[in-house]
A = this chain, B = another copy of it.
Amino acid sequence: MNRGAPKLSDVARMAGVSPATASRALSTPGRVRPETRARVDHAARLLGYVPHGAARALASQRSRMIGAVIPTLDNAIFANSVNALQGTLAESGYTLLLGSHAYNPVTELQVTRELIERGADGIVFVGTDHDPQIYRMLATFRTPYVLIWSLDPSGRHPCIGFNNRDAAIRVTRHLLDLGHRRFGVISGLTAHNDRVRERLAGVRDALRARGLELSPQAVVERPYSFASGQQAMRELMGRRPSPTAVVCINDVLAIGAIIECRAAGIDVPGDVSITGFDDMEISAQLAPGLTTMRVPTVELGRAAATYLLDRLAGREVATFTELPVELVVRGSTGSPQLESPPGPQHAVR
């Protein structure tokens, strides 16, 4: 791909120095006389020299590329994080290699292999649920990595995330405090998704602490999509007695749920309360009284980049970072519901 393009030796010749010196002038400017550095820089500029990354990687054993393995970019949540990740990496001259797996563990393994093969100096993963083979590969290739979105309870893997279970507990408690007793949950698919499982567990924990159980039919598990959320909401509202509060495990599902409520003429909140996770800006507009958990997507991306860059530079790094999640109570889902058993309330996330 570099056919005909100027190479380092061309730059060196033009500057009247050896390739070695040219290399140094370009990558470690401090190690050459200012004057020769100027000559080399000038020659490089004149020739439009662009270093050959593969050659450089081969010789230096560093690719200056960081990989990210994510479920999908369709979820705005991950797109935001990836955007921040890429931006932060670029500031340090690193390029992002992107792989997604659509929640398929086999694909994930494959994608990871691919990134390692391309020489990723480090890799970012989402969540803690990964094939043991993945961790084995990372160890074999001594590839630094970090898990984001979740906290690793085992402490075996470096992670930057937040307490998904606790966030769900807080959201649920909020609903309980509003007086709700009949709950429904619109969940994402739990397979290969620790975030969903933790959040679900959090809802259960909070309810149990107040002597309530979540019956199997009170939980609807669906893939992330507006349509799923709509349909799930319809099902839940069809149950008798119908829930007065519904917790949505993800914002996409929440939006679907809200849409369904509007279509069915159900007031949110009022007849129903919704609480949620992730990126709820739009959801909040759909249902102004919405209560949500705001997840630090941008911070996750930035922190992951910083972690890996620091690690690669041999700097000290914290191997366990918990980020705060903010409970955002909008409008007045408040006291009214406390007296009369309110309509359904939904915890969105």
Contact = CB atoms under 8 A, between A and B. Distances in A.
A4 B142 contact: yes
A203 interface: no
Interface string A98-139: 111010000000010111111111000000000000000100
A272 interface: no
A116 B50 contact: yes
Interface stretch (A58-66, A235-243, A302-310): A58-66
A55 B69 CA distance: 23
Given A73-B79, A96-B99, 11 more contacts: A1-B61, A1-B63, A1-B119, A1-B120, A1-B121, A64-B118, A73-B73, A73-B83, A86-B99, A87-B100, A259-B285
Contacts of A119: 1-2, 52-54
A238 to B, nearest CB: 21
Contact of A79 (B58, B79, B93, B113): B79
A97 B95 contact: yes
B83 A50 contact: no
Nearest to A100: B86
A32 interface: no
Interface of A: 1-5, 48, 50-55, 57-58, 61-65, 72-74, 76, 79-80, 82-83, 86-87, 90, 93, 95-100, 102, 111, 113-121, 137, 140-143, 226, 255, 259, 262, 281-282, 285-286
9 contacts: A1-B119, A50-B113, A50-B116, A58-B58, A73-B86, A76-B76, A82-B98, A262-B285, A282-B282
